[in-house]
Structure 1
Amino acid sequence: MSDCDFLCTFHQSISKSELLCEGCGGSEDEGKRLQRREKNRVAAQKSRKRQTQRADLLHQTCELLEQRNRKLRSEVDSLSEEQRLLTEALRAHEPFCPIMHCSFASSTSCRLQQEDTLSRSVRGREPL
C-alpha cells in the first residue's frame, strides 16, 4: 500500500466530507460530491427522525381515541341497559295507568276526566 493510498483511506475513515488527497486524482468536484452526499445523509436522518416522531404522535393519538371510544361504548351500554329497564317498568305500569288508556284525539276530555277523578278523590278525603 502506497503512502497516498494509506492517506486516502485515512481521510475517508475520518470524514467523508473531507477532501481527497490531491495525489490520488481526487478533485474539487469529488470533494463537493462527498460534501453533498454527507449533507444528503444528514437530511435523510433528520427526515427519518421526523417521520418516526410523526408516527409516534399518530400512535399516541390512536391510543387516546381508542381509550375514549371504549369509555363511550361503556356509557352507551350503560344507557342502553337503563333504557331497557325503564321500558320494562313502563310496560309493567301500563295496565294500571289511567292516563295510558286515553287516546291522543280525546286528550282534552281525558284531561277533564283526570281532573274530575282528582277532585272527587280530594273531596272524599276532606273532613266533614
Structure 2
Amino acid sequence: MAKTEASLLSPPSEFTSAVPLDSPIRTTPIHPDLPEIQVPGEPLPVYSYHPITCQPIEDQDISSELEQLRHEFPTKEAALRAQEQAAKEAKRKIEEAEKKKEQVQRAIDKKNKERDTEMKVLSKYQEVKASDIPS
C-alpha cells in the first residue's frame, strides 16, 4: 500500500501535459504570494519543477534562458524584485480569470432562469390552447 501512495505522490515520468492544480502530487507552493500554485516538494527544490507539468527541469534544457536571466538581473536583489513582480502579475491574472469565470457563470445562470421562465409561459400557453380545442 505504501508503494502505491509513493507512486501517486511522485512526479509523472512520461506525462508531459498540464497537471491539474488539485492533483495530489502538488504539495508545495511555488511562491508565498501564490499558494494556489503548487509543485512537488520532494526530492528536488520547488524551483526545479515546471509549474504546469510538474516535471523536473533539467539545467541543460534551460541553460540559454538562465544565462539570459543572469544578464537581465545581475544582482540577487534585482532577481528577487523581478520574482516578486512576476508573482504579483501571475496572481493578478489568476484573479482576473476567476472574475471572468464568475461573470460567465452568472450569465449562464441568468440565461437558464430566462429559459425556464419562457418554458413555463409556453407550457401555460399550450395548456390554455389545448383546453380551447373542442372534444
The TM-score, its normalising length taken from structure 2, stands at 0.43
- Higher relative contact order structure (alpha carbons within 8 Å, sequence separation ≥ 6): 2
The TM-score, its normalising length taken from structure 1, stands at 0.45
Normalized per residue, the structure richer in helix is 1
